[in-house]
Amino acid sequence: MLKDITLGQYFPGETPVHRLDPRTKLILVVLYIIALFQADAWPSYLLVILVTLICMGISKISLKNIFKGLKPMLFIIALTAILNLFYTQGTPVREGWIITWEGIDRAVKMMLRITLLITGTFLLTYTTSPMALTDGLEMLMRPLKKLKVPVHEMTLMMSMALRFIPTLIEETDKIMSAQKARGADFETGSLTQRAKALLPILVPLFVSSFRRADELAIAMESRCYHGGEGRTRMNQLKYGRNDYIALLLGVLFLAAVNVMKHFGL
Nearer to another protein, 142 or 180 (CB): 180
Which of 209, 258 has the CB closer to another protein? 209
| Three-class secondary structure assignment of 16-67 | HHHHCCHHHHHHHHHHHHHHHHHCCCHHHHHHHHHHHHHHHHHHCCCHHHHH
Q: What is the distance between the alpha carbons of residues 232 and 22, in angstroms, rounded to a whole number?
A: 18
In the complex, least distance from residue 19 CB atom to another protein, rounded to whole angstroms:
22
Give whichever of 145 and 180 is closer to another protein, judged by the CB atom: 180
* Residue 8 interacts with another protein (CB under 8 A): yes or no: no
CB 43 within 8 Å of CB 265: yes
Query: Quick one: 35 or 175, whose CB is closer to another protein?
Result: 175
> Please, are residues 159 and 129 in contact by the beta-carbon 8 Å criterion?
no
The distance of Cα 26 from the centroid of its chain, to the nearest Å, equals 11
**Least distance between another protein and beta carbon 157 (Å):** 24
Q: Return the range that interacts with another protein (CB under 8 A); candidates 119-127, 139-147, 154-162, 203-211.
A: 203-211
For residues 115 and 122, the answer to whether their CB atoms sit within 8 Å is: no
From 204, 216, 210, 236, select the one nearest 160 (Cα to Cα).
216
At residue 92, φ and ψ (nearest 5 deg) are -65, 150
Measured CA to CA, the distance from residue 237 to residue 162 in angstroms comes to 20
Under the binding rule (CB under 8 A), the answer on residue 64 touching another protein is: no
Q: Cβ 233 to another protein, closest distance in Å?
A: 30
5 binds another protein (CB under 8 A): no
- Give the closest residue to 16 by CA, choosing from 28, 6, 31: 28
Residue 14 in the binding site for another protein (CB under 8 A):
no
On whether the CB atoms of residues 158 and 105 are closer than 8 A, the answer is no
- Per-residue mark of binding to another protein, 156-195 (x: CB under 8 A): ---------------x--xx-xxxxxxxxx----------
Under rule CB under 8 A, residue 3 binds another protein: yes
User: In this chain, which stretch among 35-43, 62-70, 201-209, 226-234 interacts with another protein, using CB under 8 A?
Assistant: 201-209
CB of 73 to another protein, least distance (A): 23
Q: Least distance to another protein from the beta carbon of 211, Å?
A: 9
The reply to whether 43 sits near another protein by the rule CB under 8 A is: no
Residues binding another protein (CB under 8 A): 1, 3-4, 171, 174-175, 177-185, 199-200, 203-204, 207-208
